[in-house]
């Protein structure tokens, strides 16, 4: 199983475990500060994912410019959300730029690497003339030419 | 793989696939054969014509009108991109941007330009801009 798939499924399972554990906690002991924080993080993730999806759908910019604009927008969202949720105060609001900056740099590196790898994969398959659904030689049980 | 062909007068074109076990390759082969039957009713100068999916290079939505591009001609289609997406699911047509659907059987290369935009080149020399968001969808078809 590819490492990427394992990581993806781990993240999804962790999210489900967090939601399940906190749902039970809410039922038994009501909403605590930790639960509020986790729910706020899920809410923030939902807003950022939605904005990101619209951004990618409607704007076609270079990867660098796209990440610069996203950095500004997401910093603004995190800052606004942070003020509402009580994470930031006027004295430390700039922390949002650091938090978002770290995530954006990681996302940029992964995105740039993934795009390069996907292009290589597609071009290799075009050159080799192989596609999903092609009957490959290893499936050739009669020994005839494919 | 054996290919057996025989002429049967008076019957429609029939493809029979025999396989030792149902694998992804067999599934893909069936889907690709099925997609050969897809035709578009398109208009060229108010004349209605049938265009086979294999002749389609790409479809583009311009000002809420959908245009179908073959190797040399441009046709108008009375359908939305969503409708086309549903009909051509699992075919060679794949969305490459918000306004464009490309036939990957005519794709010869994808490259990243200096400004990091992605560009697809088709076998008629035509170049299309690919959104990074849809690159993974193209990859899944190979």
Q: How many CB atoms lie within 10 A of CB B6?
A: 4
Answer whether A131 sits within 8 Å of B142, measured CB to CB.
yes
Report the pLDDT averaged over residues A110-139.
Answer: 78
CATH topology of domain B38-140: OB fold (Dihydrolipoamide Acetyltransferase, E2P) (2.40.50)
Chain-centre distance of CA B10, in angstroms? Answer: 30
The residue assigned the tokens 């798939």 is A5
The C-alpha of B136 sits at a distance from chain A's nearest C-alpha, in angstroms, of 7
Q: If you average pLDDT over every residue of chain B, what do you get?
A: 88
Say whether residue A64 is in contact with chain B using an 8 A CB cutoff: yes
* pLDDT value at B127 more than 60: yes
- Residue B57: the pLDDT is 95
| Range with top average pLDDT, A41-45, A90-94, A137-141 | A41-45
Q: With bands split at pLDDT 50, 70 and 90, how would you rate the model's confidence at B12?
A: confident
Domain definitions of chain B by residue range: 38-140
Answer whether A111 sits within 8 Å of B129, measured CB to CB.
no
Report the pLDDT averaged over residues B69-77.
Answer: 92
Q: What is the 3-state secondary structure (H, E, C) of chain B?
A: CCCCCCCCCCCCCCCCCCCCCCCHHHHHHHHHHHHCCCEEEEEECCEEEEEEHHHCCEEEEECCEEEEECCCCEEEECCCHHHHHHHCCCCCEEEEECCEEEEHHHEEEEEECCCCCEEEEECCCCEEEECHHHHHHHHHCC
**Among B25, B27, B116, beta carbon nearest to A64:** B116
The residue assigned the tokens 């396989």 is B19
Report the predicted TM-score, pTM, of the whole model to 2 decimal places.
0.71
Q: With bands split at pLDDT 50, 70 and 90, how would you rate the model's confidence at A136?
A: very low
**Which of the 8 DSSP states describes residue A62?**
-
Say whether residue A28 is in contact with chain B using an 8 A CB cutoff: no
Residues 28-47 of B with CB under 8 A from A: 28-32
Q: With bands split at pLDDT 50, 70 and 90, how would you rate the model's confidence at B117?
A: confident
**Among B27, B110, B116, beta carbon nearest to A122:** B110
Report the pLDDT averaged over residues A62-91.
Answer: 86
* pLDDT value at A94 more than 70: yes
- Residue A143: the pLDDT is 37
The C-alpha of B11 sits at a distance from chain A's nearest C-alpha, in angstroms, of 27
The C-alpha of B47 sits at a distance from chain A's nearest C-alpha, in angstroms, of 34
Of B126 and A82, more confident: B126
**Among B24, B108, B116, beta carbon nearest to A126:** B108
Say whether residue B82 is in contact with chain A using an 8 A CB cutoff: no
Report the pLDDT averaged over residues A84-106.
Answer: 84
Q: With bands split at pLDDT 50, 70 and 90, how would you rate the model's confidence at A24?
A: confident
The C-alpha of B112 sits at a distance from chain A's nearest C-alpha, in angstroms, of 8
- Residue A141: the pLDDT is 38
Residues 94-113 of A with CB under 8 A from B: 111
């Amino acid at each position: 199983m590819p490492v990427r798939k394992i990581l993806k499924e781990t993240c999804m399972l962790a999210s489900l475990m967090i939601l399940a554990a906190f749902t039970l906690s809410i039922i038994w002991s009501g909403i605590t500060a930790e639960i509020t924080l986790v729910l706020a993080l899920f809410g923030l993730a939902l807003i950022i994912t939605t904005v990101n999806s619209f951004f990618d759908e409607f704007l076609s910019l270079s990867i660098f410019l796209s990440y610069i604009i996203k950095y500004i927008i997401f910093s603004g969202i995190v800052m606004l959300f942070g003020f509402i949720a009580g994470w930031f105060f006027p004295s430390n609001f700039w922390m949002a730029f650091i938090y978002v900056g770290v995530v954006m740099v990681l996302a940029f590196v992964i995105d740039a690497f993934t795009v390069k790898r996907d292009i290589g994969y597609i071009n290799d398959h075009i050159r080799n003339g192989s596609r999903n659904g092609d009957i490959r030689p290893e499936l050739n049980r009669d020994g005839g030419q494919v | 793989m054996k290919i057996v062909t025989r002429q049967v007068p008076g019957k429609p074109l029939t493809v029979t696939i025999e396989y030792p076990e149902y694998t992804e390759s067999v599934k893909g082969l069936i889907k690709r054969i099925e997609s050969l039957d897809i035709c578009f009713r398109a208009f060229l100068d108010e004349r209605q014509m049938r265009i086979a999916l294999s002749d389609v290079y790409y479809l583009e939505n311009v000002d809420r009108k959908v245009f179908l591009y073959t190797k040399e001609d441009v046709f108008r289609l009375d359908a939305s991109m969503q409708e086309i997406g549903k009909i051509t699911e699992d075919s060679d047509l794949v969305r490459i941007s918000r306004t464009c659907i490309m036939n990957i059987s005519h794709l010869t290369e994808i490259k990243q330009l200096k400004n990091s935009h992605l560009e697809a080149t088709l076998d008629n020399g035509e170049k299309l801009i690919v959104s990074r968001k849809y690159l993974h969808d193209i990859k899944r078809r190979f």
